[in-house]
């Protein structure tokens, strides 16, 4: 059975008993500021709706949730995005069957430690809140996220996070992790344990370096070799570790708007790259190994003035971005790439 807010309220106004077989409750896009505490013979709105599996409460004006929400132990999907929530009740940790929880676009500054009890979560969206930290201890786990190890998609973008707990490395099933638009200055070494990641977004933070050693690996990224998309633009990076060359499945690498002065020689190992963003850095040379990136379709890079017209034509060069760049060095490297044996491989490359 599925109910909307109007149907539910009409039922209650008639003094009818609450149907405990309701599974889906549609309350979205209203003006709700609270959920009623007492309904019919029940002591709360939702204590009689224990068979609910899905609640849609998005786009309301909720500032709090009643503790009794924790009685909805059959919930698998809870959508609370676009409200005004500042806190969550500890009882939310009782919803151990949840697989999808969307709390994006609220005003959360802190999470209850009990959120770590949601061990069945597959998708967790906490983006566009005001979180500065993640709680460290939850239940028997030593951290917030040590127990939610089934997560596949974790969105923490557009918060105020300055650090991440080491325990983030326990979420080993993660495929997508979005940490963009935070205040991160460092990353825990355990991030290298996320061996299933294929998309990692760290853009718009304050990172100056990437960790060199993670777990049994000797370098950042030594273990996250399934990455295909890595976003590091708009940070404060001055160098990259040689171990970035271990990310041999990368197809998209975004490094624009940093302070890079050099690239490691190992970047030439990223032979699956099709897009490489390097614009607005302080590069003065490129490693010769750059010519190994034969699958590149686009290099968003530097203002390449002074290169031969014929070479520009072959490479379809379009000057759009400035950088402190030694054009002679770049031209020499490109000329190596344009050796007749490799000419056809670079005919479709575009440099921005």
pLDDT in tens, 63-91: 999 988 998 999 999 999 999 999 999 99
Instruction: Look at residue 191 and tell me if it is in a domain.
Output: no
Domain that includes residue 7, residue range: 1-183
For 89-148, what is each residue's pLDDT tens digit? 999 999 999 999 999 999 999 999 888 889 999 999 999 999 999 876 433 354 455 478
Do the beta carbons of residue 51 and residue 23 sit within 8 Å?
yes
Mean local confidence (pLDDT), 50-55:
89
Q: Report the distance separating Cα 296 and Cα 351, nearest Å.
A: 10
Tell me the C-alpha distance between 235 and 232, whole Å.
Answer: 7
Q: Which two tokens stand for residue 345?
A: 């491989």
In a shared domain, residues 173 and 297: no
Check whether residue 33 and residue 109 sit in a common domain.
Answer: yes
The answer to whether residue 75 is domain-embedded is yes
Q: For the chain, what's the residue count?
A: 352
Give 237's pLDDT tier (boundaries 50, 70, 90): very high
pLDDT band at 251 (very low <50, low <70, confident <90, very high): very high
* Higher local confidence (pLDDT), 345 or 157: 157
220, 151: one domain:
no
How is residue 171 written in tokens?
A: 């979420």
Domain count, the chain: 2
Does residue 190 form part of some domain? no
**217 shares its domain with 156:** no
The verdict on 137 and 219 lying in the same domain is: no
Give the Cα separation of 41 and 58 in Å (integer).
Answer: 27
| Least-confidence region, from 30-34, 37-41, 43-47, 228-232 | 37-41
Same domain, 78 and 134: yes
Residue 159 lies in a domain: yes
- Same domain for 178 and 215, yes or no, is no
What would the mean pLDDT of 259-270 be, rounded to a whole number? 94
Of 11 and 230, the one with more pLDDT: 230
Q: Is the residue at 194 inside a domain?
A: no
Are 62 and 85 a contacting pair, CB within 8 Å? yes
pLDDT of 312 over the 80 cut: no
94 lies in some domain: yes
Integer Cα distance of 318 and 304 in angstroms: 8
pLDDT category at 223 given cuts 50, 70, 90 is confident
Nearest Cα to Cα of residue 125 among 99, 147, 146: 99
Reported pTM = 0.82
In a domain, 196, yes or no: no
In a domain, 193, yes or no: no
Residues 229 and 327 in one domain: yes
Q: Are 149 and 5 within one domain?
A: yes
Residues 318 and 256 in one domain: yes
Q: Are residues 286 and 338 in the same domain?
A: yes
Measure Cα distances from 77 to 53, 57, 86, 95 in Å. 6, 11, 20, 10
Residue 90's CATH number: 3.80.10.10
148, 30: one domain: yes
């Amino acid at each position: 059975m599925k109910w909307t807010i109007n149907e539910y309220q009409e039922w209650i106004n008639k003094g009818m008993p609450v149907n405990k077989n309701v599974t889906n409750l549609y309350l979205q896009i209203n003006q709700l500021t609270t959920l009623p505490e007492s309904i019919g013979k029940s002591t709360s709105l939702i204590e009689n709706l224990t068979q609910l599996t899905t609640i849609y409460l998005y786009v309301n004006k909720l500032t709090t949730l009643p503790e009794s929400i924790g009685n909805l132990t059959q919930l698998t999907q809870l959508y609370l995005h676009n409200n005004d929530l500042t806190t969550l009740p500890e009882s939310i940790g009782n919803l151990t069957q949840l697989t999808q929880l969307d709390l994006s676009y609220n005003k959360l500054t802190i999470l209850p430690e009990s959120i770590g009890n949601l061990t069945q979560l597959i998708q967790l969206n906490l983006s566009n809140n005001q979180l500065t930290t993640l709680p460290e201890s939850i239940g028997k786990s030593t951290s917030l996220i040590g127990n939610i190890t089934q997560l596949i998609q974790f969105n923490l973008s557009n918060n105020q996070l300055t650090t991440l707990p080491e325990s983030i490395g326990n979420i080993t099933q993660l495929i997508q992790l979005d940490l963009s638009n935070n205040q991160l200055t460092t990353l825990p070494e355990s991030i290298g344990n996320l061996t299933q990641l294929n998309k990692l977004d760290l853009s718009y933070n304050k990172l100056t370096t990437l960790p060199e050693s993670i777990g049994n690996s000797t370098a950042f990224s030594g273990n996250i070799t399934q990455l295909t998309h890595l976003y590091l633009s708009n940070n404060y990076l001055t160098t990259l570790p040689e171990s970035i060359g271990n990310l041999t499945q990368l197809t998209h690498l975004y490094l624009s708007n940093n302070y890079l002065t050099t690239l490691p020689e190992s970047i030439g190992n990223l032979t699956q790259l099709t897009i490489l963003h390097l614009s607005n850095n302080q590069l003065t040379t490129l490693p010769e190994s750059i010519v190994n990136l034969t699958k590149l379709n686009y290099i968003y890079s530097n203002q390449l003035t002074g290169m031969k017209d014929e070479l520009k034509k072959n490479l379809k060069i379009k000057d759009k971005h400035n950088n402190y760049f030694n054009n002679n060095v770049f031209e020499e490297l490109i000329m190596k790439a344009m050796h007749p044996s490799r000419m056809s491989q670079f005919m479709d490359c575009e440099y921005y």
